[in-house]
Amino acid sequence: MASRRGGPPPNAAQIDFWNANAGQTWAKFQPLLDQQLGPLGEEALRVLAPGSAETILDIGCGCGDSTLALAAQVGPAGRVVGVDISRPMLEVARQRRPPPAAGKVEFRQIDAQSGELGRARFDSAFSRFGVMFFGDPVAAFTNLRCALKPGGRLTFVCWRSLQENPWMLAPLEAALPFLPPVTPIDPLAPGPFAFADFQRVRRVLVDAAFERVTIMSFDTEIGGADLEQTRRLSFRVGPLAAALREHPDYADRVAEPVERALRQFETAGRVMMPASVWIASAERSLS
């Protein structure tokens, strides 16, 4: 995925990250992560309301769960193209069987910020937590807009702030007293909370020449795994995982306080925790 001019690709750091340990981790924990993120993607899918026989672009499709859900919506006459920069996750996606009577599914390893997606090819575009990792968000969404047909629709779901997401905040806060100082989160850098600011999301979409921008909040509980599975996942995905990548020797030291924090959210052997997102929608103009 080198750039057309022969230099490194625009999202080189993210490409390296998602093709190394991060992509392998998400591939390994795919069933648990799909269970966690599924309700949030389902609400965004409801907002998009895909039509039968549509051609849809799934941005940052990861292990393919959202792509297959879209394919079920568009039916046999439809088509869904899932794009991602992570080879390990795409390998999982390509092994999954589409649901009965689904549309045609294709997975491509491509950077949606700068890669060739085609011009006016898609009826709509969708993303479940795949749009917060662009080095240049305006350039990325401009590329996505050009891939939509006139009047084409975009819907994506992204995280609100860390403080509004106890499922990521609680394990981190429990561990921090036992860790050396960790690098603070840059709110504008590519990462899970890059679109936490409502105004930034709107500004990026407007600057990319999208129209009819709407952004709604959505809150629910996610999880469903047992206590041990939830603790293991928090050590591998999210802000606590990032802190432990800086200080891997402290994992055993923080295990007990993290488990204590998670136990507060356990009911009948399952851990369910609050999650808060934005669901953003916009359209390409008809002209």
The predicted model scores a pTM of: 0.94
| pLDDT in the model for residue 8 | 67
Residues 6+ apart with CB under 8 A from 101: 72, 75, 76
- Residue range 15-29: mean pLDDT, rounded: 91
Residues 6+ apart with CB under 8 A from 93: 61, 62, 63, 64, 67, 82, 84, 107
C-alpha distances in Å from residue 37, one per residue of 127, 223, 236, 241: 12, 8, 15, 17
Q: Does domain 12-160+186-221+277-283 have CATH number 3.30.450.40?
A: no
Single-letter amino acid code for the residue at 99: P
- Per-residue pLDDT band for 5 (boundaries 50, 70, 90) equals low
Tell me the per-residue pLDDT of 58-106, one tens digit each, with 9 for 90 and over: 999 999 999 999 999 999 999 999 999 999 999 999 999 999 999 999 9
Tell me the per-residue pLDDT of 23-61, one tens digit each, with 9 for 90 and over: 999 999 999 999 999 999 999 999 999 999 999 999 999
Tell me the per-residue pLDDT of 104-163, one tens digit each, with 9 for 90 and over: 999 999 999 999 999 999 999 999 999 999 999 999 999 999 999 999 999 999 999 999
Domain ranges for the chain, please list them. 12-160+186-221+277-283
CA distance 6 to 142: 22
Extract the runs of DSSP E, i.e. beta strands, from the chain: 55-59, 79-84, 104-109, 122-128, 148-159, 211-223, 266-267, 270-283
Tell me the per-residue pLDDT of 156-209, one tens digit each, with 9 for 90 and over: 999 999 999 999 999 999 999 999 999 998 988 999 999 999 999 999 999 999
